[in-house]
Structure 1
Amino acid sequence: MTEEIAKSIQAVRERVVSHRRSLHQIPEVGLELPQTAAYVRKVLIELGCEPQTIGSCGQVVTLGQGTGTLLLRADMDALPVQECTTLPFRSTNGNMHACGHDMHTAVLLGVAEVLKQHEKALPCQVKLVFQPGEELGTGAESLVKAGLLEHPHVDAAAALHVEPTLEVGKCTYGTGVMTSDIYDIFIRVEGKGGHSSQPETTINALALPTEFITR
């Protein structure tokens, strides 16, 4: 079975490349990604899947059967960055997939194709989710609130991120925390005003946050 899956993966390689280049030309920002979501939905339907929209435009497909559910996630949004390359598939709409989310989405579409081919052999359910709004830091939360982790209940989740410093064909993994998160920190600093001729009578409120930032 492993050999059959390996052959299927090799067979979809060129389609994954094609998906990535098509997605690279239509980068969208934030939680509303109509073109990107439509592309993902079209490909999934062509594969025989039944995608469901969750949240603003997230797409979810559940394959397989049995007990236990593994969630596989890819982010779809881009950045508001002007692309300055000469690639034939470059973006021209003022946004850019500068963080590799076009690759993440393309890879998960390839995974969907392979898993659909071998769906009857899957020992559990696999939930594929294409998520908007990763760069905002709110995309995942919005999907969880919309019920992503239920129906069926998710027991484990996994994702990947491209790493340009690795050789083609290689990947790394680890235990514990592997990716960053977004947190807001609010600090209130109170000082004491005065005249610049008598700094010794003041409390400089700028000194502390400046020191904090540089540490």
Structure 2
Amino acid sequence: ISKAGGTSWTAAARANSCSVPPTRGAHLPHSDDECRWVRARLLAGLLRGAGGHWEAQRVEAAPVCPRYGIVERRTLMRDCIQRLDAVHSRGHHYISNEYTLHGGEGSMYDTHLCPQFVNVISIREPLARLVSNIKYIMLHLKHSLFHTSPATSPALERAFNRTFCNAPAKIWELLAPPVVDNYNVRSMLGESAFHSPLWTGL
């Protein structure tokens, strides 16, 4: 589960001489297990509306998991055996999954763990996880969007501040639905349930 101690788990794995994928977040390459927090095009539209000249592609490149809405994993690994083969072929002992459990594209009732692995889920107190997640999004979004183009950053920063300073909860409900609504539960109910509408009683 994103923002629930994964960095510490990865550090512990490395400290114990485990082979870990060299990817951001220690995800298995080509598994598409990356987190999905933010609606990238909506974010670009909000910032443009506040006076910033943003391209959606630029926002989509920001390291804030701007892939909410992409339900199905973009991977050729369709089952647990294929995942196990991929892990063995790379010689890894530890991998991380920051999206959701597997098999729930059609229904949350088909969601499952892969029994071929030792599965560990770290659950963080929901409010602390929410605050950490929003802080992470704000910090990395601001850094990636402004520090890459200092010549235009004053105008862009004003647009950013108009969008987010004292922003109501509705902004985050629109921008990052899973972050503000039962993220822990969504992460364990599969791909379709992860993308359920807000406040559906998950």
TM-score range, shorter chain: under 0.3
Q: Which is strand-richer, 1 or 2? A: 1
TM-score relative to the length of structure 2: 0.24
Q: Which has the larger radius of gyration?
A: 1
